[in-house]
């Protein structure tokens, strides 16, 4: 069972959960579904407790580690990567706002009160701080520690990051498939499951189309700067895309990505700096996924994701997932906090988001990695322009 991928585990849990719900609905027996509902309530409470800790563990060390890298290249790379992530989010919002209402049935994720299954009991586990408090604390500590050399406090946060990573890897990720299965058992028991699955299929078709469109946009822009055919640049990045689909990790794909970017004639010095950094901070694929799927869940629960609601959410996504992609499933785990605090997602919506994200995680990661190649091309050009401007300034100084 350990060798089975997370996607396959979640798929198995979905099938079993749906099957259990249908079987016990036909038998008119609700005890097993109430048992699963009790488990989902308890695990959901634990998840709400751990979310602020995950954010602190990821964001503090992520921001602090950026401060130790060279200034000019870091600033340019971070700015380009963050702008790319924002553009990906706004593209997903624009297309989602137009297409999702046409294809999704409103309230298709709302369990009818007559069929609602209640837990036997629940235990409230209040978080030690709110999500926004965790965000502000992480920013303050991360920025402050980035300015301190050989900080002993940073070592503490690095160890805390390891603890959080192990909690995700050894507790949350193994239990998440059961958690997701329990939610879908309740959905199928309520009789809403088939319209829900149909809606999910439509969401994935739109999602994959947006990811491909965004890769084309990135390389069209990069090629206009580099004066080369964008399809040739994308072709050279295909090994990295396919490797990311297999590994589901931007970090694990770095060696292949570096080789692909070198084939696109980016300077080796820039490639060796930009690609490892972008594997951490460039999250276009995850952003497209989380924006579109969160909008879909909102439409399916009878809510409308307005621009004023989604705008701050998109801006925060690029920050809250810093350093998360290196952990399998870490991207959506880090985003759960703002899904809860900014979009109002609760114990019902969060496991559905985990399932939706996990099912396409390979392709979201591949979109991130492929986009890293375009980031490297842009940074290489911008650094050349900066150096050229500096040389021109020096020449003028000499003439004077």
Q: What is the CATH number of the domain that holds 59?
A: 1.10.3860
Sign (positive or negative) of CA dihedral 197, 321, 338, 174 = positive
The 10s digit of each residue's pLDDT in 196-232 is: 777 788 899 999 999 999 999 999 998 888 888 889 9
Contacts of 336 (CB under 8 A, 6+ apart): 47, 51, 54, 345, 350, 353, 354
The 10s digit of each residue's pLDDT in 69-109 is: 556 777 788 888 888 989 999 999 999 999 999 888 766 66
Residue with tokens 């994959």: 208
pLDDT (mean) for 366-389? 83
The answer as to whether 1 is a domain residue is no
- Asked if 149 and 64 count as a contact pair (C-beta separation under 8 A), the reply is no
pLDDT value of position 209: 95
- Asked if 109 and 301 count as a contact pair (C-beta separation under 8 A), the reply is yes
Tell me what the pLDDT averaged over the chain comes to. 82
Measured in whole angstroms, the distance separating CA 67 from the mean position of its chain's CA atoms is: 23
276 lies in which domain range?
6-399
SS3 247: helix
How far apart are the C-alpha atoms of 156 and 137, rounded to whole Å?
15
The answer as to whether 359 is a domain residue is yes
Q: First-to-last CA distance in the chain?
A: 73
Lookup: tokens for 34? 């109430």
The answer as to whether 134 is a domain residue is yes
The 10s digit of each residue's pLDDT in 14-53 is: 889 888 888 888 888 888 888 988 888 888 888 888 888 8
The 10s digit of each residue's pLDDT in 168-198 is: 778 887 888 888 888 888 878 876 666 677 7
How far apart are the C-alpha atoms of 322 and 57, rounded to whole Å?
10
Higher-confidence position of 342 and 130 = 342
The answer as to whether 100 is a domain residue is yes
Number of domains in the chain: 1
pLDDT value of position 323: 53
The answer as to whether 35 is a domain residue is yes
Residue 183's closest CA among 374, 392, 24, 43?
Answer: 43
pLDDT value of position 293: 92
Which pTM was predicted?
A: 0.78
pLDDT band at 329 (very low <50, low <70, confident <90, very high): low
Give the count of beta carbons closer than 10 Å to the beta carbon of residue 256: 19
């Amino acid at each position: 069972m350990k060798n089975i991928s997370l996607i396959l585990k979640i798929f198995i849990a979905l099938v079993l959960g749906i099957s259990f719900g249908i079987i016990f609905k036909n038998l008119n027996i609700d005890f097993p579904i109430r048992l699963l509902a009790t488990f989902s309530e308890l695990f959901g409470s634990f998840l709400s407790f751990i979310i602020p800790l995950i954010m602190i563990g990821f964001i503090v060390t992520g921001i602090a580690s950026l401060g130790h890298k060279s200034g000019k290249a870091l600033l340019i790379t971070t700015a380009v990567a963050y702008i790319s992530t924002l553009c990906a989010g706004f593209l997903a919002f624009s297309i989602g706002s137009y297409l999702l209402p046409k294809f999704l049935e409103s309230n298709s994720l709302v369990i009818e009160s007559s069929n609602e299954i209640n837990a036997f009991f629940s235990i409230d586990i209040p978080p030690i701080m709110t999500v926004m408090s965790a965000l502000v604390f992480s920013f303050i500590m991360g920025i402050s520690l980035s300015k301190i050399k050989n900080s002993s406090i940073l070592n503490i946060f690095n160890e805390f990051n390891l603890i959080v990573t192990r909690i995700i890897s050894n507790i949350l990720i193994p239990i998440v498939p059961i958690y997701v299965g329990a939610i879908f058992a309740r959905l199928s028991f309520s009789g809403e499951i088939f319209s829900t699955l149909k809606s999910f299929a439509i969401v994935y078709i739109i999602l994959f189309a947006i990811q491909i469109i965004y890769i084309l946009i990135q390389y069209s822009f990069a090629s206009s700067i580099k004066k080369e055919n964008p399809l040739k640049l994308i072709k050279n990045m295909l090994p990295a895309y396919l490797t990311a689909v297999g590994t589901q990790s931007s970090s694990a794909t770095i060696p292949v990505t570096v080789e692909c970017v070198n084939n696109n004639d980016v300077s080796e010095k820039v490639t060796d700096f930009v690609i490892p950094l972008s594997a951490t901070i460039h999250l276009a694929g995850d952003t497209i996924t989380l924006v579109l799927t969160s909008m879909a869940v909102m439409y399916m629960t009878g809510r409308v994701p307005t621009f004023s609601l989604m705008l701050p959410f998109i801006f925060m996504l690029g920050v809250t997932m810093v350093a998360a992609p290196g952990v399998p499933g870490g991207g959506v785990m880090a985003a759960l906090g703002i899904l809860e605090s900014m979009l109002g997602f609760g114990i019902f919506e969060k496991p559905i988001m985990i399932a939706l994200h996990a099912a396409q995680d390979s392709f979201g990661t591949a979109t991130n990695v492929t986009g890293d190649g375009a980031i490297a091309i842009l940074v290489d050009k911008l650094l050349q322009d900066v150096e050229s401007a500096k040389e021109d300034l020096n020449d003028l100084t000499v003439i004077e």
